[in-house]
Amino acid sequence: MKEIILVYNETLNPISLVENIITRYTDPSKYSCNLCHITYGHIKMKNIWKEYLASVECKTEVYLKKSFSKKYPKFKNYLYPAIFTLDDNDNVKLLISESEIKDCSEIEMLIALMKNKLADFHSREASKK
């Protein structure tokens, strides 16, 4: 695996940023990006998430849904947030779906899920050799 791709369900414009900040504080259950909600504090990425990503043995890329869809058009109508892998042949594959991320209520749950999914991924890749 060449890299892990994190795709946040966000758009980058002033109106949506303000709306998202207000929603995160007033009614977090209606926030459209659970990946953002559990991996970011009020302003910046949580240290536990940053440290976990640094410990993963491959590059990590972060995209907003629009820029990811532009780079990988076949995922334009996909449900986000989501986490993908990029292999050495530049094939993008789903690692963690939007519904799996939605089921994570805490950062520790997401990290455990990601560890399990990466272990499964590595096992499948090893069995192919």
Predicted pLDDT at 121: 85
Length of the chain equals 129
pLDDT above 70 for 25 = no
What CATH number is given to the structural domain containing 101? 3.40.30
Total tally of structural domains belonging to the chain: 1
Given 3-state DSSP classes, what are the helix, strand and coil percentages for the chain, each rounded to the nearest 5?
Answer: 55, 20, 30
Strand pairing partners for 59? 3
* Structural domain boundaries enclosing 112: 3-128
pLDDT per residue over 76-127, tens digit each? Answer: 888 999 999 998 889 999 999 999 999 998 999 999 999 999 999 888 877 8
| 32 pLDDT above the threshold of 80 | no
Instruction: Tell me the pTM.
Output: 0.84
User: Alpha-carbon distance 13 to 61, whole Å?
Assistant: 21
